[in-house]
Amino acid sequence: MDEQRVVKVHLENISKSFASRKMIFEAVNHVTIDVYKNEFLVLLGPGQCGKTVLLNMVSGLETPTEGKVEFIDSDATDLGFVFQKTAVFPWKTVMENVEMPLELKGVPKAERRERAQYLIDLVGLNGFENSLPKQLSGGMKQRVGIARAYCNNPQVLLMDEPFGALDAQTRYQMEEEILRIWEQEKRTVIFVTNNIEEAVYLADRIIVLSACPATVKEVYDIALPRPRDYVDTEFLRIREAIEANTDLAL
Amino acid sequence: MSDNSKQISTETANSIQIEAKAKRREARQLLLISTVSVLVFLCLWELAVRAGWIDSKYLCAPTMVVETFLQKLTDPKPDGAVLGVHIITSLRLVLVGYLTAVIIGVPLGLIMGYYHTFDKLVSPIFEIVRPIPPIAWIPLSIIWLGVGTTAKAFIIFLAAFVPCVINSYTGVKLTPVVYLNVAKTSGASNWEVFWTVSRNYAMPLAFTGIQVALGNAWSTLVASELLAATAGLGYMIQQGRSLVRPDVIIVGMLTIGVIGAILTTLLSKLENHVVKWRSRA
């Protein structure tokens, strides 16, 4: 594994503050992270700790106050973003949602349909191409979000608590699914969550962030073979070790 | 065991059927109550006029209204035009003012909602104009536009314009940030974010505005036809007043009501078609 570690995204000493009239709010404080090519990196931190802000800076939605984000062999437009479940456009069908990034790029209809169909099949939504989001369950909506993020064929995928709004059962199912999809279509993934169990289940590497402002607190390499078992002794040991070392307000 | 469960299921089926029957019966009873109430009302009205409790120059009997209605279908007397001409004149007037308001108002509201600078440029003027009732524009519009169709359509336009702008504007403003971010991270330009996200998101609320505007436009009709007119439903009931013909007035009023209801229904159908993606909570 180690010799394969090629840096894909480099976050150099990133800080972000928001100024309001009365005070300055510090969201991220001097974070330096290397994200390796095709790894599943999980950023784990308590709610409201600046994880989303950090991810938004990687995607370019926000600019760092200090420091910079570097992409190696690709650029900031070569991204897929999976948001929380509400991020599927209710006025578009499943097919139209998935193909939207290609439509924006001006890819001809036949070509983008073919790509979108492949992804719809990949995420297991075959048969729902023409359904509207109001006809889908939360888990299915999130599958649409994942397919859409893959649509541009990006090298880096950013996921911002994508399963946070799902019920426990669907969440376990989707965690399994995202790994299956990722094994099939390997990409560099940066996955944000506040759920330790989810982090240990998914990650090649976990970076634990402190509460506000976010700083890198601890890095864990998770070498457990997949598929992982939530009640495996080694799994529980790692989980407890992280739990003991974090101040997750859960 | 299986016998038992089968029995339960037929029992359940029976009770569902009984419940459905009870519901249907209740619906029939409610319909009956409504019908009876309308009939009693009409009978009392008829009786009151026939028995001479109410002077016929104040109110005519419902049977008289029906008679006048049938007569007005072909007879231009006493107000100068047959009912069909009144309806077409009014409809044309309302549709001109109303459609202009929708065509200008909705895009204006959408763009005001999305482009901050444009909003700041336009909204001070808009905020001052907004609370002025459309009828208060009548004197100025006579000076500017005379007493012809243009002036009348202008009043109706003003009545319909405001809700179109406000609702479209609010719809855009309420677009969840996450939707905007989806488009941005998919490589959309500022204009593309507006076109693919905000415009669509605002549609249900814009349609609410378009509905309210239709109501406003239609109800401003009578007032705008206070300006010189030779035909139109508003003109018809004005004539009914000067000729002391309550039957003509009532036929005109009912026609205004029925056509307004028809237009609203047609618009709802269009709305359901355009924003069929909306989920009703």
Looking at beta carbons, which residues of chain A come within 8 Å of B185? 59-61, 79-81, 158
Burial class of residue A99 in the structure, from the number of CB atoms within 10 Å of its CB (0-12 exposed, 13-18 middle, 19+ buried): buried
* Structural domain contains residue B20: yes
Parallel, antiparallel, or unpaired: how do β-strands A188-193 and A156-160 relate? Answer: parallel
B34 and B72 in a single domain? The answer is: no
State the distance between the two ends of chain A, measured CA to CA, in whole angstroms: 33
B72 and B209 in a single domain? The answer is: yes
- Contact yes or no for A101 and B186 at CB 8 A: yes
At residue A244, the pLDDT reads: 84
Tokens encoding B2: 């299986």
* Structural domain contains residue B40: yes
- Contact yes or no for A104 and B197 at CB 8 A: no
Tokens encoding B134: 């459309």
Q: Which residue of A has its CA nearest to B201?
A: A91
- Contact yes or no for B197 and A89 at CB 8 A: yes
Distance CA A125, CA A121 (A): 6
Distance from CA of B176 to the nearest CA of A (A): 9
Listed residues B28, B54, B80: the one ending a domain: B54
* Structural domain contains residue B173: yes
For the complex shown, is ipTM > 0.90? no
Distance CA A234, CA A225 (A): 11
At residue B1, the pLDDT reads: 46
* Structural domain contains residue B61: no
3-class SS at A187? coil
- Contacting B with CB below 8 Å, chain A residues are 56, 59-61, 77, 79-81, 83-84, 86-87, 89-92, 100-101, 104-105, 132-134, 148, 152, 158
Distance CA B113, CA B110 (A): 5
Alpha helices in chain B, H assignment, sequence order: 2-50, 62-72, 83-114, 116-129, 138-145, 149-173, 177-185, 190-193, 199-224, 233-242, 246-274
DSSP class of residue A224 equals: P
- Contact yes or no for B183 and A91 at CB 8 A: no
* Structural domain contains residue B62: no
Listed residues B11, B31, B54: the one ending a domain: B54
Q: What is the CA radius of gyration of chain A?
A: 18
Q: How far is CA B2 from CA A110, A195, B5, B10, B11, in A?
A: 54, 45, 5, 12, 14
Low-confidence ranges of chain B (pLDDT < 50): 1-2
- Within 8 A by CB and 6+ apart from A105, the residues are A152, B187
Tokens encoding B216: 């406003």
Is the confidence at residue A204, as pLDDT, over 90?
yes
* Structural domain contains residue B83: yes
B23 and B121 in a single domain? The answer is: no
Neighbours of B122 (CB within 10 A): 17
B140 and B10 in a single domain? The answer is: no
B245 and B169 in a single domain? The answer is: yes
Q: Which residue of B has its CA nearest to A134?
A: B279
Is the confidence at residue A49, as pLDDT, over 80?
no
Q: What is the pLDDT of residues A162-185, one digit of tens each?
A: 998 888 888 898 899 899 999 988
At residue B3, the pLDDT reads: 54
Distance CA B99, CA B114 (A): 23
B159 and B249 in a single domain? The answer is: yes
Q: Are A105 and A182 in contact (CB under 8 A)?
A: no
Domain positions in chain A: 1-78+157-178+188-250, 85-154
Q: How many CA atoms lie within 13 A of A250 on its CB side?
A: 13
- Contact yes or no for B186 and A100 at CB 8 A: yes
**Closest Cα to residue A134, out of A97, A98, A89, A165?**
A89
In the block, which residue shows the tokens 């600078």?
B117
Looking at beta carbons, which residues of chain A come within 8 Å of B278? 90, 134
DSSP class of residue B98 equals: H
B202 and B258 in a single domain? The answer is: yes
B193 and B254 in a single domain? The answer is: yes
Query: Mean pLDDT in chain A?
Result: 88
Total domains, chain B: 2
* Structural domain contains residue B59: no
Partner residue facing B179 (CB), from A59, A87, A105: A87
- Contact yes or no for A87 and B192 at CB 8 A: no
Burial class of residue B85 in the structure, from the number of CB atoms within 10 Å of its CB (0-12 exposed, 13-18 middle, 19+ buried): middle
- Contact yes or no for A91 and B277 at CB 8 A: yes
- Provide the residue range defining the domain that includes B39: 2-54
B188 and B130 in a single domain? The answer is: yes
Q: How far is CA A151 from CA A42, A61, B108, B192, B197, in A?
A: 22, 19, 34, 18, 18
* Structural domain contains residue B152: yes
At residue A217, the pLDDT reads: 87
Looking at beta carbons, which residues of chain A come within 8 Å of B275? 91
The mean per-residue pLDDT over the stretch A37-49 comes to 88
Parallel, antiparallel, or unpaired: how do β-strands A216-221 and A205-209 relate? Answer: antiparallel
Q: What is the pLDDT of residues A93-149, one digit of tens each?
A: 999 999 999 999 899 999 999 999 999 998 889 999 999 999 999 889 999 999 999
Is the confidence at residue A227, as pLDDT, over 90?
no
**Closest Cα to residue B108, out of B187, B213, B260?**
B213
Element of type H or E holding A223: none
**C-alpha A78: how far from its chain's center?**
14
B49 and B73 in a single domain? The answer is: no
Is the confidence at residue A188, as pLDDT, over 70?
yes
Element of type H or E holding A244: helix A233-244
Partner residue facing B176 (CB), from A81, A86, A91: A86
Q: Are B156 and B94 in contact (CB under 8 A)?
A: yes
Distance CA B186, CA A97 (A): 11
At residue B6, the pLDDT reads: 57
In the block, which residue shows the tokens 């049938």?
B70
Q: What is the CA radius of gyration of chain B?
A: 26
- Within 8 A by CB and 6+ apart from B149, the residues are B93, B96
Tell me the pTM.
Answer: 0.82
CATH superfamily to which A1-78+157-178+188-250 belongs: P-loop containing nucleotide triphosphate hydrolases (3.40.50.300)
B120 and B249 in a single domain? The answer is: yes
Q: At B167, which CATH number?
A: 1.10.3720.10
Q: Which residue of B has its CA nearest to A157?
A: B185
B92 and B220 in a single domain? The answer is: yes
